[in-house]
Amino acid sequence: MAESDAKEEENTLTTQFDGIVTTLSAFRTQITALQHQLRVLERSVTKEVKTLRKDALKKKAKVARKPSGFAKPSHITNELCLFMKLPENTEVARTEVTQYVIKYIRDHNLQHTDNRKIIMPDEALKQLLDIKEGDEVTYFNIQKYMNKHFQNNL
């Protein structure tokens, strides 16, 4: 009987060991699965952070800046204010003045019929731009004639 008790106890211990080994094996499988999920999540987070940084840099680059160069408003002469029907001592960007003058040229049909780059100024435009007899005004050199109307802000 002692022998059968020993065998039974051995079977019980073996069963317990087998149970523990099975549990550890299942636990190891779960840990492996968790490690895999963690790696996948880490890659996703890294990719998302990279995308967010890139977007943040783009937004930072698109910050509204105050106008400079031709877009910066500057004082214009009273003669140009009168021509543009603006109050005296107005500040206007060079781009706006150029747009107004070009619109005036088109509205009054002041372009040469054959070569539309050449401007045939009327009396008001001649007086404004101080165009001398024999001067050829084009869209390329019109800024030269408008320079005198922009007063530098010192």
Tens of pLDDT along 42-66?
999 999 999 999 988 887 777 677 7
CA distance 137 to 117: 9
Q: What are the tens digits of pLDDT across the range 75-125?
A: 999 999 999 999 988 899 999 999 999 999 999 998 989 999 999 999 999
Rounded Cα distance, 54 and 139, in Å: 41
Class at the top of the CATH hierarchy for domain 69-151: mainly alpha
pTM for the whole structure: 0.57
